[in-house]
Amino acid sequence: MRKIEIFDTTLRDGEQSAGINLNTAEKLEIAKQLERFGASIIEAGFPASSPGDFEAVQRIAGTVKNSIVTGLARAIKKDIDITWDALKKAEQPHIHVFLATSPIHMQYKLNKTPDQVVEAAVEAVKYAKNTFPLVQWSAEDAFRSDRDFLVRIINEVIKAGATTINIPDTVGYASPAEYGALFKYLRENVTGSDKVNFSAHCHDDLGMAVANSIAAIENGANQVEGTINGIGERAGNAALEEIAVAMHIRKDIYGIETGINLQEIKRTSQLVSKLTGVVIQPNKAIVGKNAFAHESGIHQDGMLKNPETYEIITPALIGESAVPLVLGKHSGRHAFKDRAETMGFDLSDDKINRAFAEFKKLADRKKEITEEDLLTLLTDQQIQYEEIPVYELKSVQVQYGTENIPTATVQVIQPDGEEVTVASTGSGSVEAIFNTLELLVNSKVEILDYRVTSVGKGRDALGEAVVNLTYNDQKVTGRDAAQDVLEASAKAYLNAINRQIIQSGLRAKELIR
Ligand SMILES: CC(=O)SCCNC(=O)CCNC(=O)[C@H](O)C(C)(C)COP(=O)(O)OP(=O)(O)OC[C@H]1O[C@@H](n2cnc3c(N)ncnc32)[C@H](O)[C@@H]1OP(=O)(O)O
Ligand SMILES: CC(C)C(=O)C(=O)O
């Protein structure tokens, strides 16, 4: 079996999805899970792009041991220096330097001639190589670049010390046959192409990112890049869970080993969805909630007679356990802690106690506590910060009637510890709550997006709200769940405000550069 390295860019290209904004603690949590998932390389961010990205990459590099941690950098010395500062303590410092090579990018975006682009790429790779043992160089928009120019610049960056060459289809324009052919051409024409890794990086604008990545593997790529749940810039990146399972299920034709721990797929996907607020479409391959649901009579009949009639992947393969529900209002702390550990949470006794208290409150109101409910409760505890005081929702009350103006009354404890109650109106119940909270947080808030979904099944399922807003001129996403969608909405709004406060609080305490 041939080994393919899996390069995960959920925290860099994935975070470039419109509306996603992860803080350092959330990124660290995802990185630790990506390590369990078995990613060979984790691109933890773009350190020169913001203090938040710098801090996240630095923290992840200091924590993750079993995956290589990398950071993205433009082909400029300042970016490379900042990336080195963030990654110098990593076990195997790795940098990902990129520079565009397509005519349209060189002429209009970079305003450079092809010769100047070659010179800048070589200079950047040489400079990076002074400190980093592992240097990946990406030809941004490689697929729309001239092939012979690509061969020329790749030859030069390999001479300058690049250890991996990435050939992105930056705008998702390639077809599988074309993208595969490009890898074959480069493997055949680049001098010493067998001495470096060739990497595929595909976007899903035409829905072909996974197919293109597999075509690259078939034609000489020994690394593929992508994200969990396929999140990423515009239509997203290749979904890594789809590639990993495709390689496993069809090892008869591909003969590829990815090193991915398939059992961790479900949990990784759920964690990324929860923390980014990006809901997974139900029919999404591998991780969608309908991916293993057989609905029609003829299919169900076949499944009962022999599951192989319709099932090519079992839920168990990706760690989707059909554990019978054992937790309810009569369960105790031991069973709760045990389940948390089985789900992969490693929480202090304090955090387990707090999660248990929340669980008991929920169990009083809800007859069935599902795996999704537990995931929500435990994830919330896992990423709580104690050191920065934030807003705490005490109560929310809404008066609504078809003939009345909806009015919300909200009681919160402010970061300074003072308890305040404020009321305001809106054209609907949610708007009334948001207007009231805006008065409370004392600053202009612009709502960019708002969604409510149900967590789990049944009438008494938890409602999860995701609010994307601007506060103190920063875009931030908040999410929270509650039995009632209005309470979930209020909590999600405050969660967004609190995340912004925490991020600036950490920076003020110089925990962030
Ligand atoms: C295909 C990809 O996904 S590439 C990664 C995209 N990710 C991001 O952009 C992450 C977030 N970005 C940012 O925070 C900002 O864009 C920053 C901090 C990186 C740069 O911000 P600014 O300095 O304000 O520049 P701005 O983004 O407006 O323009 C980009 C500049 O970088 C140049 N540039 C673009 N790519 C490269 C490169 N690979 N190497 C060197 N220079 C580059 C552009 O030509 C432009 O230069 P100019 O100012 O001389 O015209
Ligand atoms: C920086 C590069 C690898 C990229 O994200 C792209 O080209 O899509």
Residues 195 and 235 in one domain: yes
The SS3 of residue 327 is: coil
Can you tell me which atom of ligand 2 is nearest the CA of 203?
8
With respect to residue 288, please indicate whether it lies within any of the assigned structural domains: no
Cβ neighbours of 109 (radius 10 Å): 12
Residues 440 and 372 in one domain: no
Cα(183) to centroid of ligand 1, in Å?
A: 27
Residues 71 and 202 in one domain: yes
CATH of the domain at 64: 3.20.20.70
Residues 355 and 442 in one domain: no
Nearest CA to ligand 1 atom 47: 110
Is 180's C-beta closer than 6 angstroms to any atom of ligand 2? no
Residues 255 and 367 in one domain: no
With respect to residue 306, please indicate whether it lies within any of the assigned structural domains: no
Is 138's C-beta closer than 6 angstroms to any atom of ligand 2? yes
Residues 221 and 272 in one domain: yes
Residues 270 and 215 in one domain: yes
Q: Which one of 10, 12, 49, 98 would you pick to mutate in the ligand 2 pocket, going by the greatest count of ligand atoms within 8 A of its CB?
A: 98
Cα(97) to centroid of ligand 2, in Å?
A: 10
Q: Which two tokens stand for residue 456?
A: 């789990």
The pLDDT assigned to 377 comes to 86
Residues 416 and 483 in one domain: yes
Residues 406 and 367 in one domain: no
Is 13's C-beta closer than 6 angstroms to any atom of ligand 2? yes
Cα(22) to centroid of ligand 2, in Å?
A: 20
Count of domains observed in the chain: 3
CATH of the domain at 476: 3.30.160.270
Q: Domain of residue 369: give its range.
A: 333-382
pLDDT in tens, 183-235: 999 999 999 999 999 999 999 999 999 999 999 999 999 999 999 999 999 99
Q: Which one of 7, 49, 99 would you pick to mutate in the ligand 1 pocket, going by the greatest count of ligand atoms within 8 A of its CB?
A: 49
Find the distance separating the first CA and the last CA of the chain, reported in whole Å.
Answer: 44
The pLDDT assigned to 370 comes to 79
With respect to residue 243, please indicate whether it lies within any of the assigned structural domains: yes
Nearest CA to ligand 1 atom 49: 110
Could you say which of 261, 276, 291 is where a domain stops?
A: 276
Nearest CA to ligand 1 atom 33: 110
Is 74's C-beta closer than 6 angstroms to any atom of ligand 2? no
**Residues 470/449, Cβ–Cβ less than 8 Å:** no
Q: Which one of 140, 145, 166 would you pick to mutate in the ligand 2 pocket, going by the greatest count of ligand atoms within 8 A of its CB?
A: 140
Alpha-carbon gap, residue 333 to 337, rounded angstroms: 6
Answer yes or no: is 201 a known binding residue: yes
With respect to residue 326, please indicate whether it lies within any of the assigned structural domains: no
Answer yes or no: is 248 a known binding residue: no
Angle CA(266)–CA(232)–CA(146) in degrees, nearest 5?
Answer: 130
Can you name the residues that pair with 41 across neighbouring β-strands? 7, 68
3-state secondary structure 381-422: HHCCCCCCCCCEEEEEEEECCCCCCCEEEEEEECCCCCEEEE
Can you tell me which atom of ligand 2 is nearest the CA of 13?
5
Residues with CB under 6 A from ligand 1: 13, 16, 46, 49-50, 74-76, 98-99, 109-110, 140, 170, 233
The pLDDT assigned to 325 comes to 53
Could you say which of 233, 260, 276 is where a domain stops?
A: 276
Cα(170) to centroid of ligand 2, in Å?
A: 6
Could you say which of 325, 348, 382 is where a domain stops?
A: 382
Answer yes or no: is 294 a known binding residue: no
The pLDDT assigned to 506 comes to 61
Q: Is 205 exposed, middle or buried (0-12, 13-18, 19+ CB in 10 A)?
A: middle
Q: What are phi and psi of 278, to 5 degrees?
A: -90, 110
The pLDDT assigned to 425 comes to 96
To the nearest 10°, the Cα dihedral for 278, 20, 320, 371?
-80
Residues 349 and 241 in one domain: no
With respect to residue 127, please indicate whether it lies within any of the assigned structural domains: yes
Percent of the chain with pLDDT over 70: 96
Residues 235 and 354 in one domain: no
Q: Which parts of the chain have pLDDT scores under 50?
A: 510-513
Can you tell me which atom of ligand 1 is nearest the CA of 111?
45
Residues 359 and 420 in one domain: no
The pLDDT assigned to 384 comes to 64
User: Cα 321 from chain centroid?
Assistant: 22
- Which ligand is closest in space to the CA of residue 203? 2
The pLDDT assigned to 398 comes to 96
Predicted TM-score (pTM) of this structure? 0.84
Q: Which one of 8, 12, 13 would you pick to mutate in the ligand 2 pocket, going by the greatest count of ligand atoms within 8 A of its CB?
A: 13
Can you tell me which atom of ligand 2 is nearest the CA of 12?
5
